[in-house]
Amino acid sequence: MQHKYARRANALEPSEMRLILSSSERHELISFAGGLPASELFPIEELKVASQAVLTDHGAASLQYTSTAGYIPLRQAVMERMEAVGIRSNLQQVMITSGSQQAIDLTGRVFLDEGDTVICESPTYLAAINAFNAYHANIVDVEMDEDGMKMDALEKCLQQNPQAKFIYTIPDFQNPTGRTLKLERRKRMIELANQFDVLILEDNPYGAIRFSGTPIPPIKHFDTEGRVIYLSSFSKIFAPGLRLGWICAEEEILEKYAGFKESADMHSDGLAQRITAKYMELYDLDGHIETIKAVYLERCTTMLDCIDEYFPETISCNKPEGGLFIWAELPDSMNAGDIALKCMENNVAFVPGAPFYVRGAQKNTMRLNFSNSNPEQIKEGMKRIGEVLHRELDLVNTSSEELVN
Amino acid sequence: MQHKYARRANALEPSEMRLILSSSERHELISFAGGLPASELFPIEELKVASQAVLTDHGAASLQYTSTAGYIPLRQAVMERMEAVGIRSNLQQVMITSGSQQAIDLTGRVFLDEGDTVICESPTYLAAINAFNAYHANIVDVEMDEDGMKMDALEKCLQQNPQAKFIYTIPDFQNPTGRTLKLERRKRMIELANQFDVLILEDNPYGAIRFSGTPIPPIKHFDTEGRVIYLSSFSKIFAPGLRLGWICAEEEILEKYAGFKESADMHSDGLAQRITAKYMELYDLDGHIETIKAVYLERCTTMLDCIDEYFPETISCNKPEGGLFIWAELPDSMNAGDIALKCMENNVAFVPGAPFYVRGAQKNTMRLNFSNSNPEQIKEGMKRIGEVLHRELDLVNTSSEELVN
C-alpha cells in the first residue's frame, strides 16, 4: 500500500550516519568513518561496581519512572563540571537529555516554526542539519576558516537574516572539521548575538577532549544575557551507549524543553543516570578523561604522520588540538565520495565531507576519525587510503596530460 | 529577555503528567495519580545478575554507539512475545524505541503535516494528545462506551474526515479508562481502516497485564494490509526506568521511523537493551508477569471494594480486567478537578479525567491508579477520597436544597 507520510518524511534520505553506524559493525573493515570513542577505554570494571551499588541501594527508584529533568545528583555533578570550565548554573538550569542529539532535536521543537532561520557553520554536524530540517527550518551556513566560523561573515548573515532564531555552533574540535573557534571570535559572537537579539546553541561534546594547546572558555562563559543554550554529553568522555547528555540554559527556556522532552521520551534512562552519577561519586572521571586524551593524542599524531607518509603531497589537513576528527582536503578536481567507495573496496572507510554542507558542498573534503582505531590500525588503514589516493591522482594527472596533449 | 519560541512552544501548558510525576515523589502522599507500576515487584536481584553478565561478556559493545533499530537479540525476543499474542513479524519489522512514548512521538513526525487529522478515543492518553499537538495536528475524538471506541461513531468520523492519517487507539485496559475494545469492534476497525484507507496506531502497553476475563488478540492480528502500527513497551511488564518500548510495522514504514529516531536520540540505551535481553534469556519474564498480574488483581479488587465501601452511591466506576486504572464518574454537577485539589489537602492524589479529553471534557470523571499502592495504602487513600466526596456531595445537596427552598 501507498503511505501518506508527512512532507518531512518524504524528504528523508537514507542516512550517511546510519550507514556509518552499520558499517562500523563490519569487522574486516578498518573504519575512520564513525564518530565513535575508543571502546577499549570504557571503564567497564568500574561500571560493574557502580551498577551493583545502584541496584543494591536504590534498585526500585532507578527502575521506576522518574522526573523529566533528570536525576538530581547527576545534574549536580554536571553543574560542577560546567563550573570547572567557567559556566555557573543552578539546578533549574540543567536538564539531562537522551544524548545531546536529543537536546539538538528539542531545540528545533522549542524554537522552530516552518521557515524559521537557523545559522550554522559550513560544514557542520550532519545530524543537526537533519534534526532542524525535520522542523522545515531555513538553514543558512556561514563560512569557516581554521579558527572556526568567520565573524565578518556571521555579521553579514545576521544582517541578511535579522529574524534568525539561533546560531548553531560547535566551538571546540568541531564535527566534522576538528576546528576550534578562537577566543576573540567567541567574544565577538556573543556581541553579535546581543546586537541582533539571537540565541546561540553551543554544542560542545568534544571540549573536554583537549589533548594539546590552551583551553578556551566556552561561549556561554561570556554570556551575560542568558542567550546561550549550552549542550554537552557523556558520550565522548564516558560511554555513548548510555545516551546521556545535558542542556544548560535559562530556567524559563528549560521549562519548554522539559515539556517537549515529556512527549519525546518522558525522561532519560533512570538506571543509566544513576550509574553515571555513582561512577562519578566513586571514581575519578577527570582522571579517566586524562587517559582518553593521552590515547587520542597518540592516535591523532599517528594519523597526521601517516598523512605525511602515505598521502600525496597535494592533500592538506588540519592539526586538531582535541576531539575525534581530522579534516583533509583533496585537490579540487577530486571527489571524496568516489574515493570513499574505492576505499571501501580496499577495506578502509572514512566519511566524505559533502553531506556536512548545507549547500555548496566541497566534494574534495574528507573526515577522518582517529579515536576509534589503534595506531596499528591507523597505519594500515591510512596506507590503504593512500594507495587509493595515489592511484586516483595518477589517473587524474594522466587524463589532464592527455587533455593537454 | 523575551524569547521567540515556536508556536507549539507558546501553546505548551504546564503538564499534568509532570505534576503527577513530581507529586509521586512526595512521600507523605498516598498517590493514585501516576501510571506507575509497582516498584516493589521489579526483579532487582535478577537485574544485578543480568547487568554483570552483560558488562562482563559484552561490556564494550553495550557502552558503544549502536544501531538505531536496536539490539538484535532484544528485537528477536520482542518478535517471540508478539508471536505469542498473534502478531507475526520479521526482524526488519521491529524497532526498539525509548519507551513507547517515543514511538508515539515519532509517529507524529513520520505522518503528520500541519492540520492533518488524527482520530482518537474520547478520552485518551494525555501524552499522546500532547505529542500530536506538537505537530499541529487536528485531533478528532470518537465516543467510547464500556466496550471501547464505538464503531458507528468511528465510521461517521471517517466519513467526515476521509483524509485522516491514522486512528490512535489503546485497545487493552485503556489509559485513562481501563476499558477494552471488544473483539467484534477490533475486526470492524480493521474493515473501516481498509475501507477508508487509513492507518491504525495500536498502542498496547497494558495488554500483557490481563488479570481476569478472556484474552482478545491485538488489532494487528487481524491486519492483512500492513495497516496497523503496533506499539508496546517493557515499562509495565518489566521496568519503566529503562525506557524501552518497541514498534512493529511494515519495513518501509519503519525505515521512516528509523530516520527520525536517529535525529531524536540516535538509538535507545544500549546497556539497558542488552540487560533486558539478558534478563529474558536467563529468567522467565512471563513468570514475572504472572506475579504482577496476581498483585494487580488483588489491588484492583481492593480498590473496587473500597469504592463500594467509602464512596457515595451516586458514584459509578468500571471493573477493569487488567491494566493499571479504574475510571470513576461522579454526579454531573461535580468537578473532579476541585475534588482532586481537596484530596491533595487530605494527602491523597488522583488525576481528574478532564485533561484526557480533546474537547468536551467530562469534568466529573476521575482516573484511579491501583498498581502502585499496596492494599493498606489503597484502603487508607480511598477512605480519604471518600471523606472528601461525601463532604462535597453533602454541600452540593445542601445548596441545591437551598435553591429549591
Span B350-395, pLDDT tens digits? 999 999 999 989 999 999 999 999 999 999 999 999 999 999 988 8
Same domain, B297 and B274: no
Same domain, B241 and B294: no
Same domain, B91 and B151: yes
Provide ipTM, 2 decimals. Answer: 0.95
| C-beta of residue B219 within 8 angstroms of C-beta of residue B186 | yes
Same domain, B226 and B309: no
| C-beta of residue A349 within 8 angstroms of C-beta of residue A380 | no
Residue B28 — pLDDT band, cuts 50, 70, 90?
confident
Q: Is residue A108 part of a domain?
A: yes
Q: Is residue B402 part of a domain?
A: no
B62 touches chain A (CB under 8 A): yes
Lowest mean pLDDT among A236-240, B11-15, B80-84: B11-15
Same domain, B248 and B377: no
Q: Is residue B268 part of a domain?
A: yes
Same domain, A38 and A50: no
A59 touches chain B (CB under 8 A): yes
Q: What is the pLDDT of residue A15?
A: 58
Q: What is the pLDDT of residue A10?
A: 83
A234 touches chain B (CB under 8 A): no
Structural domain for B297, as ranges? 7-42+287-395
Q: What is the pLDDT of residue B326?
A: 98
Q: What's the grid cell of residue A284?
A: 575519578
- The domain total for chain A is 2
- Cβ contact (<8 Å) for B55 and A63? no
Same domain, B267 and B244: yes
B residues 172..201 contacting A (CB < 8 A): 197, 199
A81 touches chain B (CB under 8 A): no
Angle at the Cα of A81 from the Cα atoms of A76 and A84, rounded to 5 degrees: 125
Residue B21, pLDDT above cutoff 60? no
Q: What is the pLDDT of residue B15?
A: 58
- Cβ contact (<8 Å) for A99 and B36? no
Q: Chain-centre distance of CA A191, in angstroms?
A: 25
Same domain, B59 and B86: yes
Q: What is the pLDDT of residue A394?
A: 86
What is the dihedral angle through the alpha carbons of B238, B240, B244, B248, rounded to the nearest 10 degrees?
70
Q: Which amino acid is at B179?
A: R
Averaged pLDDT for residues B1-18: 76
- Cβ contact (<8 Å) for B109 and A134? yes
Angle at the Cα of B208 from the Cα atoms of A70 and B24, rounded to 5 degrees: 30
| Boundary residue ending a domain (A229, A247, A282) | A282
Span B134-146, pLDDT tens digits? 999 999 999 999 9
- Cβ contact (<8 Å) for B243 and A269? yes
CB contacts < 8 Å between A and B, how many? Answer: 273
Averaged pLDDT for residues B225-253: 98
Chain B nearest-CA distance from A403, in A, is 44
Distances (CA, A) of A306 to A29, A368, A380: 18, 12, 9
Q: What is the pLDDT of residue A360?
A: 86
Span B166-192, pLDDT tens digits? 999 999 999 999 999 999 999 999 999
Q: What is the pLDDT of residue A53?
A: 98
Angle at the Cα of B321 from the Cα atoms of B317 and B324, rounded to 5 degrees: 75
| Boundary residue ending a domain (B282, B315, B344) | B282
Question: Smallest Cβ distance to A17: which of B113, B239, B262?
Answer: B262
CATH of the domain at A100: 3.40.640.10
Residue B124, pLDDT above cutoff 60? yes
Question: Smallest Cβ distance to B241: which of A51, A65, A259?
Answer: A65
A242 touches chain B (CB under 8 A): yes
A52 touches chain B (CB under 8 A): yes
pLDDT-flagged residues of chain A (< 50): none
Q: Is residue B404 part of a domain?
A: no
Q: What's the grid cell of residue A345?
A: 573496496
Residues of chain B with Cβ-Cβ distance to A34 below 8 Å are 65
Closest alpha carbon to A104 in A268, A233, A13? A233
Kindly identify which residue of chain B lies nearest to residue A1, measuring between CA atoms. B225
Same domain, B162 and B221: yes
Q: Is residue A2 part of a domain?
A: no
Residue B13, pLDDT above cutoff 90? no
Sign of CA dihedral A136, A141, A146, A150: negative
Q: What is the pLDDT of residue B398?
A: 75
Question: Smallest Cβ distance to A60: which of B18, B39, B61?
Answer: B39
Q: What is the pLDDT of residue B405?
A: 52
- Cβ contact (<8 Å) for B101 and A264? yes
Span B199-220, pLDDT tens digits? 999 999 999 999 999 999 999 9
| Boundary residue ending a domain (B282, B316, B337) | B282
User: In angstroms, rounded to a whole number, what is the distance separating the alpha carbons of residues B255 and B110?
Assistant: 10
CATH of the domain at A304: 3.90.1150.10
